[in-house]
Amino acid sequence: MTIHYDRQSNIFHLQSKDMSYIIQIVNGTPTHAYWGKKLRNEASLEQFMAPRWKDPHNSLPLDGLPQEYPQYGTGDFRSPAYQVQLADGSRITELVFKNYQIIKGKPKLDGLPAVYVEDEGEAETLELELHDEYSGLIVYLSYTIFADHNAIARSVKFVHSGNHPLKIWRALSASVDFHDSNYEMMYLSGAWAREAQVRRRALLPGHTAIDSKRGVSSHQHNPFVAIMRPEADENHGDVYGFSLVYSGSFLAEAEVDQLFNTRVSIGINPFDFGWTLNPGDSFQTPEAVMVYSGDGIGGMSRTYHKLYRTRLARGEFRDKERPILVNNWEATYFNFDAEKIEAIAKAGAELGIELFVLDDGWFGKRDDDTTSLGDWYEDRRKLPNGLEDLAERVKATGLQFGLWVEPEMVSPESELYKKHPDWCIHVEGRRRSLQRTQSVLDFSRPEVRDYIFNALSDIFSRVPITYIKWDMNRYLTEIGSEGWPADNQTEIAHRYVLGLYDLLERLTTKFPHILFESCSSGGGRFDPGMLYYMPQTWTSDTTDAIERLRIQYGTSLVYPISSIGAHVSSVPNHQVGRMTPLKTRGDVAMSGNFGYEMDLRTFTDDEKEIAKQQVAMYKEIRPLVQTGEFYRLKNPFNGNEAAWIFVSEDQREALVFYFKVLAEPHMLSKRLVLKGLNPEFNYVLEPDGVEYGGDQLLAAGIYLPKLHGDYSSVWFKLKAQ
């Protein structure tokens, strides 16, 4: 049993393998009692929890009370988790605990991506039912606790049982009141081509927040924060992760109050959000996945990796080895024809590559990025015999065929736009701001989604496709829809995301044999919501190996390695002009979902040999990289090096990658201390064949060879004897 309820003390104790989360109902309010290292389920909990909150000297009890889903307007002046306006204009609600339910397993979330169970025994779900008698609002707080993962999935459902419409202005997915403020916040910030930069700062009285107002989760901030003790590091200390399973605008914030408590909350960005709840309607928030680690940041990441790889990602490819691909984007951009593509595929086949991906430029009249999005039929100038013919020619080289699409967009210069100028997100009478000369299709409207579903279904059915790269290359501006009345206009950004999820659900169900990779100008929508439909993501438009060290390191804070797309590209690198050795480019890309994104015909014979070896090596290490436990060893944000190790579940195999950015003169060879190995095992190291004790590798480490030149790298394989 993972959830215990004590009727006497009104305590709910949620337990996973190393974690406890405790809620106590105090005077009808669900209060946050504890979250952290696992506690025994003893009667003493009652003594421990209650007195602190029944402090008679506190004149405004709510303002200091640690709560589970706080409201505004009744004496708590901190950021609330929700706010609802009544038909009479008032914004006061008081949620009172009415009932609870403990459910085996985990119910599905209506229309939203969420972690799941395959067997009822994997988790239990607690549902707390809260009522606001005056308005008829009922709120269900849902907590799923997993027996084998130190994670809780939280979400909230609003149900209207009253008689007059309500307006929800704020509906966050989770709020946790930590009992002190001695914490730091870690998060991932960035920009296009520079995603997932790790930031960490101390919490002080006031707000520390990240958000997106862009309609997508964004390059700028990932929908994730971790709160940790100042002494917590990669391997030690208490770390609390909050990750939102959502692909639209979000807010994650920590507020340190006057009494030095810390309220952490995450959910749909309340900015520009409002939702009308008519009598009988309900509203479901996205899910927040909260992870506790007593073993530092690395422990948190490994919990997210396993949970998201095995119980968020779905479909045939969840557990399958992912193909090594070659993509023609950086090889040709828009300038290609069937012959060129076939020749690149042939060059890929010689190296042992498994999948060819035809990127942007195959449809409409698309010679650059100014036209044709929405016109999903072949450009016969480039592909006179169409996609079927090209796919067959690629298949004849021995590679599978994959295709790029950007279904959420329309170019003003397109047949689709001419026919349906009202089908894009816009506000009538206002400017329609373009980004990359394109507009966003209004996926809040079912007829727009149906059109795209049919257009894509046609291609996916007639062309022998095994892979789709689903791109999305702009943010949402002038958010409005002609398909909805005035009262619903503050719902459009969220309805867009719901519409996207609806379309993805239909397509992935209809085409289960297709591997979908999500992309949004690289990592503009690298979030758990998209991972539910597409088990891998193109991590960044930056393919430079050295930039990628940081981007992939940062992304690995939350996301499993099997989701991180990483390609070898040509030098000088197209984004930064850097010259890096092919070996290093290969080692960085092999640390993710491996592929090439360059004109393979330009390889010299020597380079061909290196690439062949890389492909062969990746095929051998692929299960370890894609499903092994990942430990970060050296942080590229802290200096001149990066290193990580992949360890098999049985700890009998491991693979270390070490990277040195700039060469240094007169340096002794240093030792690299490893992690994740079994101290009892002896490991033989490849390439040198020497045997080491696991204890020795974990404590003293291995000597790194002297590396020569800038941007160098080395790998070691370890096999237990």
Chain positions contacting ligand DGJ, by CB under 6 A:
329, 359-360, 404, 471, 473, 519, 521-522, 538, 541
Element (H, E) at 253: strand 250-256
Of 328 and 580, CB closest to ligand DGJ: 328
Please state the closest distance from residue 366 (CB atom) to ligand DGJ, in A: 9
394 Cβ contact partners less than 8 Å away, ≥ 6 residues apart = 341, 342, 345, 356, 400, 401
Please state the closest distance from residue 568 (CB atom) to ligand DGJ, in A: 14
Residue with tokens 């959420």: 408
Of 79 and 220, CB closest to ligand DGJ: 220
- What is the tally of helices (H) and strands (E) in the chain? 14, 38
Of 494 and 525, CB closest to ligand DGJ: 525
Which is the catalytic residue, given 375, 527, 541, 587?
541
CA 15 and chain centroid, separation:
25
What's 382's DSSP letter? T
Please state the closest distance from residue 372 (CB atom) to ligand DGJ, in A: 11
The answer to whether 556 and 636 are in contact (CB under 8 A) is: no
**Exposed, middle or buried by CB within 10 Å (0-12, 13-18, 19+), for 56?**
exposed
What's 219's DSSP letter? S
Which is the catalytic residue, given 132, 295, 471, 527?
471
What Rg value do the Cα atoms of the chain yield, rounded?
A: 26
Please state the closest distance from residue 522 (CB atom) to ligand DGJ, in A: 5
Q: Say if residue 572 is preceded by a cis peptide, omega within 30 of 0.
A: yes
Of 208 and 539, CB closest to ligand DGJ: 539
Please state the closest distance from residue 595 (CB atom) to ligand DGJ, in A: 11
Tell me if residue 35 falls in helix, strand or coil.
strand
Tokens of 181: 């403020």
Please state the closest distance from residue 524 (CB atom) to ligand DGJ, in A: 8
Of 323 and 361, CB closest to ligand DGJ: 361
Please state the closest distance from residue 411 (CB atom) to ligand DGJ, in A: 12
What span, in angstroms and rounded, lies between the C-alpha atoms of 38 and 147?
A: 12
Tokens of 78: 């901190």
What span, in angstroms and rounded, lies between the C-alpha atoms of 678 and 695?
A: 7
Of 359 and 544, CB closest to ligand DGJ: 359
Helices within 354-488 (DSSP H only): 386-396, 415-419, 446-462
Of 249 and 521, CB closest to ligand DGJ: 521
Respond yes or no: is residue 389 known to be catalytic. Answer: no
Of 135 and 539, CB closest to ligand DGJ: 539
Which is nearest to 271 in space by CA: 489, 525, 490? Answer: 490
How crowded is the C-beta side of 514, counted as CA atoms within 13 Å?
A: 30
Please state the closest distance from residue 435 (CB atom) to ligand DGJ, in A: 12
SS3 content of the chain, % helix, strand, coil (to 5): 25, 35, 45
Q: Phi and psi (nearest 5°) for 523?
A: -95, 35
Tokens of 323: 């193909």
Tell me if residue 460 falls in helix, strand or coil.
helix
Please state the closest distance from residue 597 (CB atom) to ligand DGJ, in A: 8
What span, in angstroms and rounded, lies between the C-alpha atoms of 275 and 233?
A: 41
Please state the closest distance from residue 290 (CB atom) to ligand DGJ, in A: 30
What span, in angstroms and rounded, lies between the C-alpha atoms of 657 and 84?
A: 52
Respond yes or no: is residue 541 known to be catalytic. Answer: yes
The answer to whether 426 and 480 are in contact (CB under 8 A) is: yes
Please state the closest distance from residue 436 (CB atom) to ligand DGJ, in A: 8
What span, in angstroms and rounded, lies between the C-alpha atoms of 611 and 596?
A: 9
Of 246 and 538, CB closest to ligand DGJ: 538
Instruction: Give the residue nearest to ligand DGJ (CB).
Output: 360
Of 227 and 324, CB closest to ligand DGJ: 324
454 Cβ contact partners less than 8 Å away, ≥ 6 residues apart = none
What span, in angstroms and rounded, lies between the C-alpha atoms of 561 and 630?
A: 8
Of 575 and 678, CB closest to ligand DGJ: 575
The answer to whether 231 and 294 are in contact (CB under 8 A) is: no
> Cα-Cα-Cα-Cα dihedral of 188, 189, 195, 199, to 10°?
-60
Tokens of 587: 């080692």
Tell me if residue 146 falls in helix, strand or coil.
strand
Residues tagged active-site? 471, 541
